[in-house]
Every structure is written in C-alpha cells, then in structure tokens.
C-alpha cells in the first residue's frame, strides 16, 4: 500500500500529539481518513460528517483542491492537506 504525507491542521494536532505531518497509507481519501482515525482516534469525526468531508474543510492533493471528497483515488504517494476554511472579515 502507498504511504502519503498527510498535513494535519493546527486545530487538530491535539489528536496527533502535536505532529504536523504523519505518514498514512490508503488508496482513496476515504481510506486515508479511516487509517488516520485508526491511528489517531477522533480525527475522522472532525474531518467528516455523514460519510462526507465536512463542508468547511477542503482537501488538497499535491497542491490541487479536489472535489471528489472521500472517493478521490490516490494513484501515487501524495501530499495531502485538510484545509479548514478561514473565518473572519
């Protein structure tokens, strides 16, 4: 299985003991999220809702925002970012 570099948003690093980047395997974004949650319980709940990426979180793979959510296939070892929306005004 492929391993990916997954960047953890600052507000979720309490679940990763402060780790900013973790190596996680998976062939889809959904598998990556499931494997993240297996290693760091609670992350899936923060990243997903009812089987979908939460509306205020974007997923970037190798610098490109994707729209397929959890179904996005990962064809090569990738850099994955879960990017929370910025608030304010």
Q: State the DSSP string of the chain.
A: --EEEEEPPGGGGGGGTT-SEEEEE-SBHHHHHHHHHHHSTTHHHHHEETTEE-TTEEEEETTEEESSGGG-B--S--EEEEEEPP---
CA dist., res. 86 & res. 89, Å (int): 9
Domain at 26, CATH number:
3.10.20.30
- Its domain, for residue 63, covers 3-84
pLDDT range class, residue 5, cuts 50, 70, 90: very high
pLDDT at 29: 97
pLDDT digits (tens, 9 = 90+) for 6-44: 999 999 999 999 999 999 999 999 999 999 999 999 999
| Residue whose C-alpha is closest to residue 34's, from 66, 67, 6 | 6
CA dist., res. 40 & res. 58, Å (int): 20
The answer to whether position 89 is within a domain reads no
């Amino acid at each position: 299985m492929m391993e990916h570099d997954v960047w953890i948003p600052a507000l979720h690093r309490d679940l990763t003991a402060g780790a900013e980047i973790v190596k996680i395997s998976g062939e889809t974004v959904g598998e990556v999220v499931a494997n993240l949650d297996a290693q760091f319980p609670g992350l899936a709940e923060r990243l997903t809702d009812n089987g979908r990426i939460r509306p205020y979180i974007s997923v970037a793979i190798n610098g490109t925002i994707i729209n397929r959510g959890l179904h996005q296939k990962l064809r090569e070892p990738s850099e994955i970012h879960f990017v929370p929306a910025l608030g304010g005004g």
